[in-house]
Amino acid sequence: MLELIAPPDTAQEARTFVEDEDILGVWSDNLEDGCSILRILVDANRTEALSDSLTEKFSHSEGFRIMLFEVQATLPQPEEKEDEDDPNEEKESEEKSIGRISREELYSDVSSGSEFNTVFIGLVLLSTLVAGVGLVRDDVAVIIGAMVIAPLLGPNVSMALSVTLGDLDLGWQSLKTNAAGIFASLALAFVMGLVMQVDLESQQLINKTNVSLGDITIALAAGSAGVLAYTRGVPAAIVGVMVAVALLPPLVNVGLLLGAGYTNLAVGSVILTTTNLICINLAGILTFLVQGIQPRSWWEVEKAKKATRIAIGIWVTLLAILAIIIWYWNLSVNPL
């Protein structure tokens, strides 16, 4: 549901405009303060195109504002149009359907997940405690439980979105939140390594010290899946587990091994954690680009393109360097 608030004459003009668009319904009403409200029911895939058009045409009006609300259901259900329209109109309609939620909805969801607060740090510490115990005990179920509560998807997706939109403020916020979460988890895991008996017979512990080129594929898939969960407007909790699979266990493993004095083994976990972090962000940026995420105004688009090229260049270069390091690392560990 897209709600437009504007002076009565502007609202009437906007109603005439949207009636020619592919919408599910439109209603208008006058407010007490002399403004009018226009309610437009539209398919989620077409929200961005319609809101951009309305903003471009009517944002100069005093009191103009657009608000978006998610509609859980509507009765009667929208009727599917028969394919009797002109082929050119059908093609234009398909182009307007972007196959995702709008830029504004996406930004709201992603930015809220990157906020640095006590809840975020609390969840990071709790997930680290659970993951640390699971790694030491070689208990897969406990490790999975830790990944369910780990809030690592939000700041990583928001880092990718900030690059795609060229949003420096969101980028700094995401970077600070991500860094705080990583260092908090690493510090707690280090303390756990000091006080706990770290058993090297734990298969889960040893597995997180082994890194291969196949781990790059897993991390790329995790980053892309995380972004798709946001752009489709579906709950990201389950996909967040996949991102946590790539980040949390190897990160906690680094702290545990360093705390227990196994520095050489910790190197493998450091490489794995760094590789996964790079891949998740690279895949996120590329997936946002494929989904057609970009700023509204042309000057912001140019700034965003420049930021995206720089970020992709940096991530790809770092990934190539790490791929070489992984290859040499595997040769040194398994020379045969």
The three state secondary structure string of the chain is CEEEEECHHHHHHHHHHHCCCCCCEEEEEECCCCCEEEEEECCHHHHHHHHHHHHHHHCCCCCCEEEECCCCCCCCCCCCCCCCCCHHHHHHHHHHCCCCCCHHHHHHHHHHCCCCCHHHHHHHHHHHHHHHHHHHHCCHHHHHHHHHHCCCHHHHHHHHHHHHHCCHHHHHHHHHHHHHHHHHHHHHHHHHHHHCCCCCCCHHHHHCCCCCCHHHHHHHHHHHHHHHHHHCCCCCHHHHHHHHHHHHHHHHHHHHHHHHCCHHHHHHHHHHHHHHHHHHHHHHHHHHHHCCCCCCCHHHHHHHHHHHHHHHHHHHHHHHHHHHHHHHHHHHHCCC
Confidence of residue 22 (pLDDT cuts 50, 70, 90): confident
Determine which of 57-71, 180-194, 253-267, 321-335 has the lowest per-residue pLDDT on average: 321-335
Residue with tokens 């560990």: 333
- Cβ contact 159:174 at 8 Å: yes
Percent of the chain whose pLDDT exceeds 90: 31
Q: Tokens standing for 4?
A: 């437009």
Residue 290 tokens read as 């494929």
pLDDT of residue 322: 87
List the domain boundaries for the chain. 2-75+87-96, 103-333
Asked if pLDDT for residue 89 goes beyond 60, the answer is no
Instruction: Give the relative orientation of helices 8-18 and 47-58 as an angle to the nearest 10 degrees.
Output: 140
pLDDT number for residue 326: 83
**Cis peptide bond upstream of 76, omega within 30:** yes
Average pLDDT over residues 265-274: 89
pLDDT digits (tens, 9 = 90+) for 41-71: 988 888 888 888 898 889 888 889 999 988 8
Candidates 3.40.50.720, 3.40.50.970, 3.40.50.1100, 3.30.70.120; correct CATH number of 2-75+87-96?
3.30.70.120
Q: pLDDT-derived band of residue 94, with 50, 70 and 90 as boundaries?
A: very low
For 76, residues 6+ apart whose C-beta sits below 8 A from its C-beta are none
Residue 326 CA: distances (Å) to CA of 125, 220, 332: 29, 16, 10
Rounded CA-CA distance 190/199 in Å is: 15
Give the C-alpha separation, 226 to 231, whole Å.
9
pLDDT tens per residue, range 213-241: 788 888 888 888 878 877 876 655 556 66
CB atoms within 10 A of CB 48: 22
Strand order of the β-sheet with 36-41 is: 25-30, 36-41, 2-6, 65-68
What is the average per-residue pLDDT within 253-279? 90
Can you tell me the mean pLDDT for 150-171? 88
Task: State the pLDDT at residue 230.
Answer: 79
Q: Which amino acid is at 115?
A: E
Model confidence over 245-257: pLDDT tens digits?
778 888 999 999 9
For residue 243, pLDDT over 90 is answered with no
Contact between 196 and 202 (Cβ < 8 Å): no
Across 100-104, 257-261, 284-288, least confident range: 100-104
Q: Is the pLDDT of residue 92 over 60?
A: no
Contact 293, 231 (CB under 8 A): yes
Predicted local confidence at residue 93, as pLDDT: 45
